[in-house]
Structure 1
């Protein structure tokens, strides 16, 4: 029998006794150092027992469909259970890379390797500039590049997760989470955990260097994304300056609804979906218009006659325009049929009503008259009390009776002027009577929270909504929750947030309108300018200075956990969110975490899909870029899937969903987040985030 492996001599007779003869250089030898292999139970071939060699832990996903080699016997097909199934994600299962017709599999196999390759190319192409801008060495650059290459290789070959080598609390948490995973391979584990692990491991490559600690490998792409859509921002800014003026109820509601929808379609600017390629909505609109003209929709049905031929015929449905506008306000009308769930009217009414009620509670709140109850809460929770030690003397020893007597004599000798002066200073230095966050059941201000997604035009749209809510006195403060590291290419970090605000403030954009619209009848083409964009940017900077806008970057937003587990992994953040009048979650990643990254029935209601995560009323706004959704009318999912089975991967459709329920804020059964870190006595430090 000829050998299937060149240069390897194989035995010519069957192996007896069920034990294979070890042949140096065979696949068994080659894989033994890499993976431990197991053999199947003996089988018979031509009357003799033989034993199969099986790659028990093969990294090759297609290995399970290939024939296994039998020592001393012929090739036969061995049917092994494969973790990879040629199907979509089954209903009610987590999204993961083992379903080969799913977007999760496609992302891990094709999309993310391209993203990592682009980072490697960027490091190779612009290495000199990167080193100069970050004060990094050639060794730093090479080490980071090698870590990205290894990460990509481990992904495409479906290796086990590597533990983190950083000696930080965050890295230690990740190592515990990795250890607790039932499946530790990239494709075999849940898509959420693997994706978050990949971006966190990517960051570790920088953290392990000396000069690239603060390097954002996505920064240039994010800046270009902003520049490519400044014209859209100018168009919105020109109308925003009128929206922020105090208006009557109906107009205020209409503007609220409009801004929510602008926030939705701005979510199309997602660089992770485009693999880092720039998303220019103006060019995208032109491309869509050309495609529509080449493949026009069928004409509307003919007008229907009145009943039994009597009465006038009804008007025919108007022909849809064969033009897709890039104007954000026209886009809302053009994409009306693409908005699958629209709770904007309900949101506009109920948020305003809830904010009014909360405003009354805040104004009537008497909590601030009382001292903090940290010690009482600590006792209830069984936490040891902090001790307020007496201030040390000059010698560093405790005060003695003799010294106390001397100090008393000195006090008596103090002059009235001196005593008055010291008393005044003491009064000024006295801490404010700030209540403990664990005790408060009413916030310090009416707040609206936005859990951000992408920077650039999408963040601009979020800022416009926040500005409107404050200017119309619906809320007093807006908290923006951003990522604490570069994440999913275009996700907002604090640095990105400040860049967008400053770029708006300093913009000198001026250009003829891409739509060709003219000034007046037969006039010249309208020129789009950044005058009002600068006005908005200046106001946003002032809001940041005054604390009306607050940027918050908690670690939890880059954890691999879905939101129903927030209480378990970050109870302090959950409590902070409870102070909000509502929480707006932007984008697809947040939507996946809200739904537990599980392929639920598409007709499941939004509240049920949240699986108990209701710290406050929740708004979800996303364009659909992953195969999970809820709240659809019966039959709608089937209709869309029949027309295009990949409709959930394109970002062409969107939802704006609302759950009005929120968990009641009550006195916590644990001490506040500051307790026992530093002894503040009976007074907590002032919290600006509640």
Structure 2
């Protein structure tokens, strides 16, 4: 049950909201692209697995078409049924929602936006898991790989910049702030917000930083720096909750390398998704493919960073995780009860960076908060360790702004909350 003291969750009930646009337009567009990708893959599946492979593709396309129709016509959402470990969790939430509505199951336009959007990606995976031969099929893989390949010039520029920064030795506040901002703005490269349309990084990620600073509406980078300096005499663990593959992942790996190479931290834990998620989110396959591509690059510097980062994994200085909680519909205030093992794991961290829009929505519960609501209150008790959200605004929720800031921006740009033009660096100490 929702607390009367908490704002309502964002949903598509209200026309004109970004949630409504997402459910009505963006999600069906994404599903149409996945259906097309599945049909195109059937020839490859037939080569690999014979007629059974082609039939798997036909069945998956049928499942996806039914899902698209369910969303577009506002039919009741159906329970998940593929036998995965998280199946009961999804269905329990659906049943509880039905009970609160006097037995009427929620639909795409009546359920919370966060639930519906997560449900769609989980249902895509349901269709994949029910197949005989497509269980490793990622319908977004080609888009994610192209996003990295078309960002090659920006990768080279950033790798040169990181090399020069590391040559200077110990970190200072200016270099730390710069690498944080590069990782922050890397979050603009999001294929789910563009409904799968190519959205790679083609310009230098370094040159625009000074121009972009006024667009960071909350900037707590100095508080993060002070935290690190206050613990500089002990081993520190950094956790990064990753968001998008492609160029953004590269900026996050540069951030991790900077933190490690300048001895700001002694270990880095990287968290990616356990299944294809929100079009461009990083999976294990994406992560290791990226490192392999860098290692095999004809550019010697990219290759050296790729090999260095793979060595970090081999010697345990970087550790990767794919906990299933990251691909649930639950916001982070529910982590302690839903996935206590993950919450306990994060208590061992000294600092957590949470990348991107979806992580931010889950941090603040995806609710209709006042823009001036204190960030700590919106977290709903989530505090396993000090954390910092690095997020460009691509959904109509944000908290922690100074009075009047939103009105000034909206007068210039009515789409300011969803355009990716503005950003926040928001810190919360434990």
Shared topology, TM-score over 0.5?
A: yes
> Who is 1:261 aligned against?
181
1:639 aligns with 2:416: no
Q: What CA distance in whole angstroms lies between the structure 2 residues aligned with 1:197 and 1:109?
A: 15
Q: Which residue of 2 aligns with 1:149?
A: 65
* Contact persistence 1:104–1:191 (CA under 8 A): yes
1:497 positional shift? 0.6
Higher relative contact order (CA 8 A, sep 6+): 2
Q: How far is the alpha carbon of 1:502 from its aligned partner?
A: 1.1
The match for 1:128 is 43
Query: CA distance change for structure 1 residues 582 and 134 in 2, over 3 Å: closer, same or farther?
Result: farther
Cα distance between partner residues in 2 of 1:487 and 1:578: 25
Q: Which residue of the partner structure matches residue 228 of structure 2?
A: 351
User: CA–CA distance in 2 between the matches of 1:533 and 1:254?
Assistant: 24
Q: For residues 130 and 578 of structure 1, what CA distance do their matches in structure 2 show?
A: 44
Q: Aligned residue pairs: how many?
A: 418
1:113 counterpart (24, 28, 34): 28
Tell me the equivalent position of 1:239. 161
Q: CA deviation at 1:583?
A: 0.6
**Cα deviation, residue 191, structure 1:** 0.5
Counterpart mapping for 1:220-239 below 5 A:
220-239=142-161
How far residue 351 of structure 1 moved from its aligned partner, in angstroms, is: 2.1
* Larger-Rg structure: 1
How much has 1:577 moved relative to structure 2? 0.3
**Alignment-derived partner of residue 388 in structure 1:** none
Runs of 4+ displaced beyond 6 Å: none
Instruction: Check whether the contact 2:39–2:58 (CA below 8 A) recurs between aligned residues.
Output: no
Deviation at 1:481, TM superposition (A): 0.7
Give distance in 1, aligned partners of 2:311 and 2:392: 31
After superposition, where does 1:438-449 map in structure 2 within 5 Å? 446-449=236-239
Tell me the alpha carbon deviations over residues 186-212 of structure 1, each in whole angstroms, 9 at most, x when there is no partner. Answer: 110101111111100110001001010
Corresponding residue for 2:200? 280
2:390 is matched with which residue: 593, 616, 621? 621
C-alpha contact 2:82 2:130 (8 A) present in aligned 1: yes
Q: Deviations over 1:537-561 (max 9, x none)?
A: 1100100111111110001001110
- Tell me the TM-score normalised to structure 1 length: 0.59
Relative to its length, the structure with more helix (as a share) is 2
**Cα gap change, 1:227/1:568 in structure 2, threshold over 3 Å: closer, same or farther?**
same
- Alignment-derived partner of residue 392 in structure 1: none
Flag the 1:640–1:234 CA change in 2: closer, same or farther, 3 A: same
Residues 594 and 647 of structure 1: CA distance in aligned 2, closer, same or farther (over 3 Å):
same
Write the distance in 1 (CA, Å) between the matches of 2:220 and 2:370: 19
- The yes-or-no answer on 1:597 pairing with 2:387 is no
The residue number in structure 1 matching 2:128 is 206
Residue 133 of structure 1: how far off its partner (Å): 5.6
Unaligned residue ranges in structure 1 (runs of 5+): 1-90, 283-325, 360-445, 509-529, 663-690
The C-alpha deviation readout for 1:563-609, integer Å capped at 9, x for no partner, is 00111101110010010011100000000000011121111222222
Aligned with 1:531 (options 300, 304, 321): 300
CA deviation map 1:612-667 (0-9, x unaligned): 1111001000110000101111101111122222211111111111112x2xxxxx
Distance 1:588 1:131 in 2: 38
CA distance in 1, matches of 2:25, 2:220: 35
Alignment partner, residue 481 of structure 1: 271
| Aligned residue number for residue 566 of structure 1 | 335
